[in-house]
Structure 1
Amino acid sequence: MPRAKERGEGKPLQTQDSAWLDSLVDELYSRMAQGEHPGLAFLLEALLNKIMERERARFLASLEGQGEQANGFYPRKLHLTLGQLNLKVPRVRYAKAFRPALLPPKWKRVDKDYEELLIAMLANGYSQAQLQRALASLDLPFSEEALEEAKALIQDRLDFYKSQPLKADWFAVFLDAYWAKLRTEKGKLVDLSLFVAVGIDLEGRKEILGFWILEGRESKGFWVQVFQDLMARGVHRVLLFVTDDFRGLGEVIAKLFPYAEHQLCLLHLERNLRAKLSPSGYKEARETLRRIRHARDKEEGQILFGRLVEGVKGERPGMAWEMEGKRERYLAFLGYPAEVRGYEPSRLDANFDVG
């Protein structure tokens, strides 16, 4: 078996500018601008759509011989704090009373409890009794049989995402993280980290590459396992990784995918600056970041980033030193043509945020 590094080396991946990049940016990057978690939202969206479709099949089977039949889907947007779910809600032709039980009524505001329920089902973090109590408190009429089927479907899909063969070449891989606290049956709070890898292939198609659950926080060893998993399933070359500044990740990408570019989110950097700098220092840094996003090219971006580092150094020399060491990863987006950087002019890195 070849060394892991050899699997990711190859030659630098080339891609042509094409129309699909605009729709790619429109669909995915713009959701990241608000600090959402589009990778996890995309996963939940796919799972909910599948669960609702399965529920319609069960409903139609119960009315077999009565002339009832499927009648397509209608779109519904479900707004969660982790991002927007673009759902395809199944319909039947005659029964007006049919509505997927896991879908909140349109008039009901979706709150954090509903989001926590979805995360718990995803992470298998609740017992059967906890799930039933949560469903009852949310007034979701989900039967025990339907709950068992939904849990089995989720596990089946997650197993698929962990084992499916993958294409060799990818335009971009987004690594999305979501941290949750779930309460066990005994009342203990457990810290969970959920990671989703979403790939964009060379034709602009979006695909879930993998899903990982970790108790506690990530480490370099964890990222080695993640990338060895992706490479074992076929990933060979990636043009661009888009991530938050996860601990140990940059070193692993540089070793296993030395030709790939790695973009860190400027939005996350801006949040850190706001937390660490004085109001006047942050105001100046925010304006410099805005100008970096508007930079004509990488040369201008380099000059502006140097000014940003110098400004931060006066108040936070340690932070400035760390920023300087990650300069190229913060400015990777400036190596792409302007039309690729963002659907809205100069919104690229706000749109890159996966934190």
Structure 2
Amino acid sequence: MKEKLVVIVGPTAVGKTKVGIELAKRLNGEIISGDSMQVYRKMDIGTAKVTVNEMDDIPHHLIDIKEPTEPFSVAEFKDLVQPLISSINEQGKLPFIVGGTGLYINSVIQNFNFANTPTDLQFREEMEQFVKEHGVEKLHHKLKDVDSVSYASIHPNNYRRVIRALEVIKRTGKTLSEYQQTQTTESPYDFVFIGLTMERDILYERINHRVDLMVEQGLIEEAKNLYKKGVRDCQSVQAIGYKEIYEYIEGKVSKEEAIETLKRNSRRYAKRQYTWFRNKANVHWFDMTDANFIKKITEIQHFIEGKLYNHSEIK
């Protein structure tokens, strides 16, 4: 018998956190964060980290486990998540991975083998130097002609993943997604892959409102505290929400320009998330636009039960 698992994905601001918690309450579940940024302590506002009140007594995992100066990789995510899935199943509960970091989530459900991943340390050093001399945008542009999927799905600021995509092409002759397909075996899980979607105009309004709310809640102060503590050339603050505010802190742009850039980058990120997840054939999509929330949650709940349980197993 394979271990059971529910995965909930979708673009930023679509409502994954709320949906995941409500379903976990109904289905005796625990939540594993599928967000590569919520692992970092002291980075709460800019990552839209779930609050204790929002958790509503549902256990959450992989939140606040790293210092902002520490790296975090997809391989480490997989190594941490798979034992958690086993532990939650052993307790007779249902694990939910909830988040928007597609590669991280896919590494778990498809059980990627990172031991065989090709590496080229000299190439990485060359690309790191290229970033210092020419910037992340020009590095990102290198992907455009050779790996359009990675170009669309990886943010320029996440330059280490851009380097990784270029490295895979150099070492294997395959794009990152093509190489991952060669690593894919039958999933070790009996899983349901739920995608949340929303009309784009409404989603973009929600994203803009979320950024305004983050600023009201103290995003700029949070970023200043990190900056003062020396958290600068680190993976954590390359993320959307911090990179833009750092430019304001360093006097490169005005506060208003930083906020508008953050909104724009967040909208673009949502589009890239859609691109990533839309290419996954096993995602079952639910439209959250103008939805009656309770009715929609009940619909998703029944779908999960129908996929994972015999009628006699449903509690």
Q: By the TM > 0.5 criterion, same fold?
A: no
Query: Quick check: which one's helix share is greater?
Result: 2
Q: Which has the bigger relative contact order, CA under 8 A and spacing at least 6?
A: 2
Larger % of strand: which?
Answer: 1
Which of these two proteins has the greater Rg computed from alpha carbons?
1
